[in-house]
Structure 1
Amino acid sequence: MTGPTSTDPRSPTPGTAAFDHLPRHDAVAALLSVCSSPAWAEAVADGRPYHRLDALLAAADDRLARLDGAGIADALAGHPRIGERAIHSATSAREQAGMSDASDEVRAAMAEANAEYERRFGHVYLVCASGRGADELLGVLRERLGNTAGEETRRTRTELAAINRLRLTGLIVQDR
């Protein structure tokens, strides 16, 4: 065998190869567009090279699992409330597209549930909203209001990891 082929699982992912070769500050900037935690972005950038998307995703998950409370707070600060009309990034707007046609009643219920969630857990309600409609997002929020603080901490990290994976995949695939 002369080396890995394009269908060989050991072959580099084209977008990952480009990411691996970015200057550190450019890699960190790209990663901050995925997750607003500087500690996470720096740790993922410093773990390069990854060669393959699956290795990058695994490293991103690992670095997220190691974040302390301040790092998670930084990550959550980059996410708008579900259902807010003023969303600060095109990425968040795409992810929350299911809320775009929500009725005024659902929007009001979402705002009320968001406020209750923040009072209860001390941070923004985070859910991987991609592909989900307004009624489903509201239902998930109401369900999660019944979680304990510990359950919600774990769930928030799980949702953040899912969002990071989607965004990283988009970043790498678009760079092809």
Structure 2
Amino acid sequence: MPESSAASAADPGLAGVNALPVERCRAEFARCLDVGAWVEALARGRPYASRAELLAAAGEYAAAVSGTEIADALARHPRIGERAEGEHTEARWSRDEQSGLEGADDDLRAALRDGNAEYERRFGHIYLVCASGRSAAELLADLRARLDNDPATELRVAGRELRAIALVRLAKLLDAQEAAAGRPEARP
């Protein structure tokens, strides 16, 4: 068995991603980062020999995302502190990523809303941060610190955060494929 086939067989999540029909693969990758060039590069790179290889490629391709692509992707993200509605994958992931806001009191939520509004006035796009594992107070402190950035610097920071979210979501996609492989009804 070739090395990439053996690695893929040992990792049902990776095997699932490698085996997806190309259109479904594109749709799944777009849930992680809805930037066409990134999605296409990842889809063309299949099959991946390991999760590490896939994540490294995803990070490399995400680093090449342009300012315009970042701005377009920002327009599709929910604001920090706003609950994503629906049961689709992206909404569930967003709620999970922002779970640190669940215990925030009304004053902290109001400060985040005000900070979001100030940020949007200053930069012309939403405040985006990889919120996974971070508390509401940490997110507010980050938001306030980033208000001191100039627009070009902030676009780079937002791009870095967008890439971090993409990698977190790609890991979730791999985990979901692994879980699906364990369910008999999910097997082809």
Distance 1:85 1:30 in 2: 22
Q: Answer with 139-148 or 49-58: which moved more.
A: 49-58
In percent, how many aligned pairs have the same letter?
48
Could you list the runs of 5+ residues in structure 2 that have no partner in the other structure?
Answer: 179-188
Task: Quote the RMSD (CA, aligned, Å).
Answer: 2.2
Amino acid aligned to 2:35? S
Q: Which has the higher helix share?
A: 2
SS at match of 1:172: helix
- TM-score between the two structures when normalised by the length of structure 1: 0.87
Equivalent in the alignment of 1:76:
74
| Structure 2 residue 11 is matched with structure 1 residue 11 | no
| Separation in structure 1 between the aligned mates of residue 2 and residue 92 of structure 2, nearest angstrom | 40
CA deviations on 1:17-43 (whole Å, 9 max, x unpaired) are: 221121110001111111122332222
Aligned to 2:122: 120
5+ long unaligned stretches in structure 1: 5-9
In structure 1, distance between residues paired with 2:2 and 2:123: 52
Q: How many residues align?
A: 172
Partner Cα distance (1:3, 1:75) in 2: 38
- Over 3 Å counting, the alpha-carbon distance change for 1:113 and 1:70 in structure 2 is same
In the alignment, is the contact (CA less than 8 A) between 1:36 and 1:76 conserved in 2? no
For residues 92 and 122 of structure 1, the distance between their equivalents in structure 2, rounded to whole angstroms, comes to 22
Cα deviation, 1:74-128, whole Å, max 9, x if unaligned, reads: 3223321001145461110110011122111111111111111111112111111
Could you give the per-residue CA deviations for residues 21-71 of structure 1, whole angstroms, max 9, x where no partner exists? 211100011111111223322222122222211111111112222222332
Q: Which has the higher contact order (CA 8 A, sep 6+)?
A: 2
